[in-house]
Chains A and B, each alone.
Chain A
Amino acid sequence: SQELEQSPQSLIVQEGKNLTINCTSSKTLYGLYWYKQKYGEGLIFLMMLQKGGEEKSHEKITAKLDEKKQQSSLHITASQPSHAGIYLCGAASGTYKYIFGTGTRLKVLA
């Protein structure tokens, strides 16, 4: 079965610093989704990547899907306290089936 591994598991950065979160799949990705979750709340969809080499940006968050389509990275530029939360990657693993990584907890110190 396909698995998604995220690294690091947790991250503490000073406000203004850049950071990167990685998501590695055990199988080829046919769609990779990034979500953000605040503790005790639902997931907020950030962006979806489908094509190898694809890169998308939303405000100060950029996500890339590598050419081999087995790894994605999420990069935050000039982090702010509002970026704090849990970032999860997800992927379609079959018909109507999705899997998710265990998440990366981000804390941004003001």
Chain B
Amino acid sequence: SQTIHQWPATLVQPVGSPLSLECTVEGTSNPNLYWYRQAAGRGLQLLFYSVGIGQISSEVPQNLSASRPQDRQFILSSKKLLLSDSGFYLCAWSLLEFTEQFFGPGTRLTVL
């Protein structure tokens, strides 16, 4: 069966510090991978998606970036965090276009 992992589970970082969140999927090959942010009182916002190694599409201009160095690994990064980057970050995968997504447990990021 497929599983998706995210770490760390929680993170408290000062403004201006770098960020690296990791997501890995097990039990499937060539998944489509997604990064979402969920802010309090707001829905899920799609940040990035990837259909293959090295292929990243950005949905929202911001100081975040994503990379996919391996087939089942997806990384969300920032060089300098802003207060507005605080939120709950979710990684997800899907097998095909227009199919259901499966989500990881999430990372709670607080920028102080």
What residues make up the interface of A, taking CB atoms closer than 8 Å to B? 4, 30-31, 33, 35, 40-45, 48, 88, 90, 92, 95-103
- Assess the A96–B49 pair: CB atoms within 8 A: yes
B57 within 8 Å of A by Cβ? yes
User: Distance in Å from the Cβ of A90 to the closest Cβ of chain B?
Assistant: 8
Number of residues of chain B lying within 8 A (CB) of chain A: 26
- 6 smallest CB-CB distances across A and B, nearest first, come from A42-B103, A43-B103, A100-B44, A102-B43, A100-B43, A42-B105
A50 to B47, CA, bound (A): 25
In the assembled complex, 24 residue pairs joining A and B whose CB atoms fall closer than 8 Å, in A order, are A4-B43, A31-B98, A33-B101, A35-B103, A40-B108, A41-B105, A42-B6, A42-B104, A43-B90, A44-B103, A45-B100, A90-B44, A90-B101, A92-B97, A95-B97, A96-B32, A96-B49, A96-B57, A98-B34, A98-B46, A98-B101, A100-B44, A101-B43, A102-B43
User: In the complex, which of the residues B32, B34, B103, B105 has the most CB atoms of chain A within 10 Å of its own CB atom?
Assistant: B103
Q: How far is the CA of A43 from the CA of B78 in the complex (A)?
A: 24
